[in-house]
Structure 1
């Protein structure tokens, strides 16, 4: 009798511990029932085929500008009408990111892209001065240089046939971000086979795949997959290069300050 009482008490304690989560899930599930969307089996089938984007496009054509998808127990609602998106993005109360953002924290850490609520607001205030028109004007030349490289790459493909523009745009973005944010050239567009570029492509691929995999969402299971090993190797390259760039940038700023001080003393 004592053993049964202990088991009953443990089950009751467990139920009470997760009661709020259960109530919240039931509330969300009731809300989700009012929005059209596919079944879990459809998601799994299309995730295996690797045709997620094409599938999402078909869902838009079938269900309209608003539809929902269940990723396990996580509900994701898709909006494609500009007015709906405007209402969401302009709402200062909707600052919490989805759980999918947690997957990229191993790469980008808790920065402006991944943080939420008060932390996001604080970081945004710190970065706002960096987007002043005067500062953005300083980026005009490097942006133009990288645009010219992109144009020359696209011109090579301008033969009337269809081609995938994605690899060219991502390499351009990598060059532009590196040179404007860090002040250092990566030459990703000209050196697309470099170790760093390959690492960026690998981390994007494995994180994207994990975001659509139910089983890979469990860290204990994920650690035994080939994708996890690929992620570890890619992060070594990415974090190593980031640390090198930060160290180099600090040295450049230090040298500039020393030079300015020397000029001031001479004058």
Structure 2
């Protein structure tokens, strides 16, 4: 009798659940879907290999979506998702659906809090207004001397490794991007100033946080907070996140004290940073700007700086390493880059470092092609707050939908990039050429605010390296590069970045 009663209650609950979501099921029925099971996120597989399978799932789902006009539905138990690769639909969603799917990204938000990338729209919009001036061209230009100096230090470090055979360049590049970001974002000119942890420990903590974040994101059984807090992953996550939080808290407090007596009127009129007693980092700018506009608390400053440190360190390093690896695989393209470097640096001796970088048109095409094939962030997720109608496919998307924008797929759709979409072909970015949707740093109002910063960091490093060295690795036997990747919230080479450097 008891079992019968329980069965009736469960049946009634299920019927009520289905009834409340009837609109969702009606609209979902009209959308083309992946057959059999839902391979992404490991939801129906219930597999502990979800992280290992993630990259192949991203590729497989993208290619299935190409066949159905750039949209596919996917079920994960009661959770409904759609995959998008269609350019018009992606741009529409990016402009109209500004909320992130916080259920999916909660593993990252446990660390970054309401940092701008993951914050709800109500918080993001206020913070964005304060942050935008800190990424103005004037401020970015003021960092060019730092990029130039850090790139020279990078070359000196690589001189010690050149001629020693094959080595993984990732740790060196990751250290370079951290050093550049620490100086520009925190005003730390010497990484030894990070007394709470040595640099290697800091980078290790970043790596471990991404690993746990991706594991939780791809494992539905770890989504409930109470289960996650019982797991070893939570203890591991907390250990490493506390290291970085302590560092940023200490730096913010010291910065606030240092800036107490800054004249805000003089600050607004300054044009060059890092001279005399003028401020010289993003953190300085955020603290001073926030004093005039709904000031940031120490917690909010920590969220923004922590988010920027984690996101910028790895995205820039991934872009640089992927590009170097591709150039090693295609030496003829590398030689064209080197010829441009010799020509531009010889002819533009009187120009500023930034102007010289702007003249490197072919290097810019190579970097963009690298970001197209291997975007550091291969997917982003949005959630509509009301029903929307997609302009290209015409499907109506219900409120309870997780919209997964497949950047990887949008970058490789042969319907828009042509039959050679999987090929490494920098010339596709020549001025005036028609391309598909290129969004390595997202698009719309919530695009990556540090896009130009990341591009300048990557171009300065790659240019400095290739002026001094030839990058050598196993050459590809065809135009389609084969780099086996892994997904740890970002898309990285699964086997590192083994290269050999030869002095020019």
TM-score, with structure 1 as normaliser: 0.71
Give the SS at the match of 2:123: helix
Which residue does 1:96 correspond to in 2? 99
Pick one of 104, 129, 136 that aligns with 1:132: 136
Contact kept, 8 Å, 1:70 with 1:76, in 2: the verdict is yes
Aligned partners of 2:37, 2:130: CA distance in 1, in Å? 43
Aligned counterparts, 1:77-156, within 5 A: 77-80=82-85, 84-89=89-94, 91=95, 93-98=96-101, 99-150=103-154, 156=161
Closer/same/farther in 2, CA of residues 167 and 134 from structure 1, 3 Å limit: same
Aligned partners of 2:35, 2:175: CA distance in 1, in Å? 34
Q: Which runs of 5+ in 2 are unaligned?
A: 1-7, 267-276, 278-504
Q: Does 2:185 align with 1:181?
A: yes
Contact kept, 8 Å, 1:68 with 1:75, in 2: the verdict is yes
Pick one of 215, 225, 235 that aligns with 1:209: 215
> Deviation at 1:167?
5.2
> Deviation at 1:179?
2.2
Q: Does 2:32 align with 1:34?
A: yes
Aligned partners of 2:242, 2:256: CA distance in 1, in Å? 21
Aligned partners of 1:23, 1:158: CA distance in 2, in Å? 66
- Render the CA deviation track for 1:16-72: whole Å, top value 9, x for unaligned: 7x67863465356435x4243672367335834613223322433444254454455
Which residue does 1:4 correspond to in 2? none
Aligned partners of 2:74, 2:48: CA distance in 1, in Å? 12
Give the SS at the match of 2:98: coil
Pick one of 59, 62, 65 that aligns with 1:60: 62
> Deviation at 1:237?
0.7
Closer/same/farther in 2, CA of residues 248 and 153 from structure 1, 3 Å limit: same
Closer/same/farther in 2, CA of residues 194 and 34 from structure 1, 3 Å limit: same
The 10-residue stretch of structure 1 (152-161 or 218-227) with the greater mean CA deviation from structure 2: 152-161
Give the SS at the match of 1:100: coil
Closer/same/farther in 2, CA of residues 250 and 86 from structure 1, 3 Å limit: same
Contact kept, 8 Å, 1:71 with 1:212, in 2: the verdict is no
User: Which structure's residues are more often strand, by fraction?
Assistant: 2
Aligned length: 248
Aligned partners of 1:248, 1:200: CA distance in 2, in Å? 23
Aligned partners of 2:88, 2:48: CA distance in 1, in Å? 29
> Deviation at 1:136?
1.4
Closer/same/farther in 2, CA of residues 41 and 113 from structure 1, 3 Å limit: closer
Pick one of 231, 244, 250 that aligns with 2:250: 244
Aligned partners of 1:70, 1:153: CA distance in 2, in Å? 49
Closer/same/farther in 2, CA of residues 46 and 107 from structure 1, 3 Å limit: closer
- Render the CA deviation track for 1:126-162: whole Å, top value 9, x for unaligned: 112112211111121223333445556677479997x
Contact kept, 8 Å, 2:212 with 2:237, in 1: the verdict is yes
Q: Which runs of 5+ in 1 are unaligned?
A: 1-7
Closer/same/farther in 2, CA of residues 108 and 151 from structure 1, 3 Å limit: farther
User: Which structure's residues are more often helix, by fraction?
Assistant: 1
Give the SS at the match of 2:251: helix
